[in-house]
């Protein structure tokens, strides 16, 4: 054993080469006051993530979550249940135990909460690459072993402060880097020189319709489909080594990431593309021009703080961009939903400190587009939003989502009042192909806004168990919901949140795989916070882009990486349009096999 005082929280391991490691600790004192000594049982220690260092108040962290902080938290809910005690050990001492082999399957590499790890004074010749999964490590001692090399995956340990490698027959260049420039320089070297890992499986489309339903849809001359992609692309200002220290610097560079982002967008060739975290410079210099070449027109607004800035600093402000295929859709109206301005304009919102400090200080936005199909006259209301990230402001998330939905409803009501589009002229010789079905449906007439299909995409920074998800998917939320945190916001907290859009998440559709798939993948959080909401009364889901391969994710520390250019992943789906009921009834005998419901 190493002649060193083991930290008080260190846990000695007696059989490190077994397939799994079981750590036992004295049973915590029960809540009823009885001593744990009164029971002969012992319990396994349950490890918990260590609390990350507080984020600084720089723009990169106040407007964007650090990679080791989750954008969600469990809402405070009243409960009389006794919570189990939490163990807070974070050090593990396996030094001086003559360990010769540490297989990658060892349970040690599941202890992702470890802060200090001692493997010194052993006989190791290899450190398994899976050590890169222990991203909470700050001290790692492997001196006095037989190591001739170090795994490149050590470069993923972006929080590592001390790496003890003395007494190993290592390559002289590695030793020189550590001795001359320190641990961080060695970590950066390993990170940036890590050979590209095997590429992940290509994500496929998951069809939710049966074969006969697909055939009926293709044969129906009145059938319409629309496809959508939603993607938070991680704007250049936030893609820093301080926030994403596990990502190679070259893979964080905008010149590298933008090509991967564009490749992902074009690969799916959707009718509508909703992007978040697009800054002004990226939109003007790259996306608007590049996507125009592919037949897309765009609508973009930056966050509110752009109004206070000028020059290069203003061009770094991010916002939301919505693109649509100009050969199919005409933009009838576009609208900026500036959440802090909308809140200030509401007469029922009292101008309290909470309003100024919690709502008005957040400059998140939504972009609303009213689109009309040039050929069929079918209308769409498309919302695109980025909701505040901080879990300490769950009330702000609810208010921003409610304001967005309110504006979408108003926009749909305005849209319904416009006269229907005249049918396209019939040109002799056109559509004479007997194999190409010809639509017999006149342009739809929308008697109210609720009849118009609605799609709302975005990064909502809320998981499926949140109050925001409950509100969006059910159409209501109780005024005393705990995620309001006791703050008062007019009608929202006196009568509750309500909407009449009949929204559902595309990935909650039968056969889509259910909610809970990963859309945001960083060391501090892996889960679903991005959504494509749709009005279930007039849209149905045909297909969704499948979730990420779980086996691949198990080998990753977090995104961005060589293959994924953002900390978020794109989600995409295809919808079928259900015409207004009065028109669909007239055409119901045309193709009775065509699916009409979700």
Quickly count: other Cβ atoms within 10 Å of residue 240's Cβ. Answer: 16
Q: What CA–CA distances, in Å, run from 437 to 108, 221, 246?
A: 62, 5, 53
Token digits of residue 517: 């798939």
Please, are residues 170 and 147 in contact by the beta-carbon 8 Å criterion? yes
Q: Which long-range contacts (CB under 8 A, 24 or more apart) does 211-216 make?
A: 212/593, 213/593, 213/594, 213/595, 214/542, 216/591, 216/593, 216/594, 216/595
In the chain, DSSP finds a helix count (H) and a strand count (E) of: 16, 24
Q: Is 461 left (phi over 0), alpha (psi -120 to 50) or beta?
A: left
Residues linked to residue 205 through DSSP beta bridges, in sequence order: 545
Please, are residues 597 and 213 in contact by the beta-carbon 8 Å criterion? no
Please, are residues 93 and 68 in contact by the beta-carbon 8 Å criterion? no
Closest by alpha carbon to 522, among 58, 62, 72, 56?
A: 72
* Biggest distance spanned by C-alpha atoms of the chain: 94
271, 459, 530, 567: which one is catalytic? 459
- Give the C-alpha separation, 20 to 16, whole Å: 8
- 459 flagged as catalytic: yes
Between the two ends of the chain, the Cα-to-Cα distance in Å is: 64
Please, are residues 239 and 252 in contact by the beta-carbon 8 Å criterion? yes
Per-residue DSSP letters for 302-357? E-GGGGG--HHHHHT-EEEEEEEETTTEEEEEEEEEEHHHHHHH-TTS---HHIII
- Give the C-alpha separation, 225 to 218, whole Å: 10
Please, are residues 155 and 132 in contact by the beta-carbon 8 Å criterion? yes
Phi–psi pair at 504, nearest 5 degrees: -135, 155
Q: What CA–CA distances, in Å, run from 375 to 290, 417, 425, 539?
A: 25, 20, 10, 18
Length reported for the chain: 598
DSSP state of 281: H
Burial string for 183-194 (b: 16+ CB within 10 Å, else e) reads: beebbbbbbeeb
- Give the C-alpha separation, 238 to 292, whole Å: 26
Q: Beta strands of 70-179 (E only): which ranges?
A: 91-93, 116-118, 139-141, 162-164
CB within 8 Å of 477: residues ≥ 6 apart: 398, 467, 470, 471, 496, 497
Residues linked to residue 437 through DSSP beta bridges, in sequence order: none
Closest by alpha carbon to 55, among 224, 240, 285?
A: 240
| Residues with catalytic roles | 459
């Amino acid at each position: 054993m190493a002649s060193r005082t083991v930290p008080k929280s260190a846990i000695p391991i007696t059989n490190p080469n077994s397939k799994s490691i079981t750590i036992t600790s004295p049973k915590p004192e029960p809540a009823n006051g009885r001593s744990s000594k009164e029971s002969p049982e012992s319990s396994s220690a349950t490890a918990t993530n260590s609390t990350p260092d507080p984020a600084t108040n720089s723009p990169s962290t106040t407007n964007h979550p650090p990679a080791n902080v989750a954008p969600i938290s469990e809402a405070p809910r009243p409960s009389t249940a006794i919570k189990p005690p939490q163990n807070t050990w974070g050090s593990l001492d396996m030094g001086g135990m003559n360990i010769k082999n540490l297989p990658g399957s060892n349970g040690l590499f599941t202890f992702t909460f470890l802060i200090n790890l001692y493997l010194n004074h052993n006989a190791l010749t290899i450190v398994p690459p899976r050590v890169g999964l222990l991203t909470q490590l700050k001290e790692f001692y492997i001196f006095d072993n037989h190591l001739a090399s170090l795994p490149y995956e050590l470069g993923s340990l972006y929080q590592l402060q001390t790496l003890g490698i003395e007494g190993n027959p290592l390559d002289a260049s590695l030793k020189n880097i550590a001795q001359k420039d320190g641990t961080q320089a060695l970590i950066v070297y390993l990170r940036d020189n890590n050979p590209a890992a095997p590429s992940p499986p290509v994500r496929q489309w998951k069809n939710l319709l049966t074969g006969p339903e697909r055939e009926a849809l293709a044969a129906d001359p009145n059938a319409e489909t629309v496809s959508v992609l939603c993607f938070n692309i991680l704007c250049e200002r936030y893609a820093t080594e301080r926030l994403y220290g596990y990502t190679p610097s070259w893979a964080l560079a905008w010149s590298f990431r933008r090509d991967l982002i564009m490749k992902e967008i074009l690969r799916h060739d959707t009718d509508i593309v909703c992007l978040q975290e697009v800054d002004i410079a990226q939109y003007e210099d790259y996306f608007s021009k590049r996507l125009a070449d592919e037949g897309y027109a765009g609508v973009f607004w930056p966050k509110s703080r752009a109004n206070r800035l000028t020059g290069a600093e203003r061009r770094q402000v991010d916002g939301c961009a919505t693109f649509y295929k100009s050969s199919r859709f005409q933009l009838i109206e576009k609208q900026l939903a500036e959440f802090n301005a909308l809140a200030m304009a509401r007469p029922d919102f009292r101008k309290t400190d909470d309003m100024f400090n919690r709502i008005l200080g957040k400059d998140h936005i939504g972009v609303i587009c009213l689109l009309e199909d040039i050929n069929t006259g079918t209308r769409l209301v498309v919302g695109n939003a980025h909701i505040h990230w901080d879990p300490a402001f769950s009330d702000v998330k609810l208010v921003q989502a409610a304001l967005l939905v309110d504006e979408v409803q108003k926009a749909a009501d305005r849209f319904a009042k416009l006269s229907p589009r005249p049918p396209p002229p019939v040109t002799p010789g056109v559509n004479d192909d007997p194999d190409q079905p010809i639509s017999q449906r006149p342009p739809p007439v929308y008697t109210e806004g609720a009849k118009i299909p609605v799609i709302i995409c975005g990064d909502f920074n809320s998981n499926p168990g949140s109050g925001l998800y409950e509100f969006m998917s059910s159409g209501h939320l109780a005024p005393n919901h705990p995620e309001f945190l006791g703050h008062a916001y007019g009608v929202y907290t006196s009568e509750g949140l309500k909407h009449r859009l009949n929204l559902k998440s595309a990935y909650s559709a039968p056969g889509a795989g259910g909610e809970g798939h990963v859309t945001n993948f960083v060391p501090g959080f892996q889960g679903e916070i991005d959504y494509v909401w749709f009005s279930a009364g007039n849209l149905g889901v045909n297909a969704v882009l499948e979730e990420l391969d779980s086996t691949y994710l198990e080998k990753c520390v977090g995104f961005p990486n060589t293959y994924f250019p953002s900390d978020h992943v794109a989600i995409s789906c295809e919808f079928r349009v259900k015409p207004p009921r009065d028109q669909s009834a007239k055409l119901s005998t045309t193709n009775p096999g065509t699916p009409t419901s979700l």
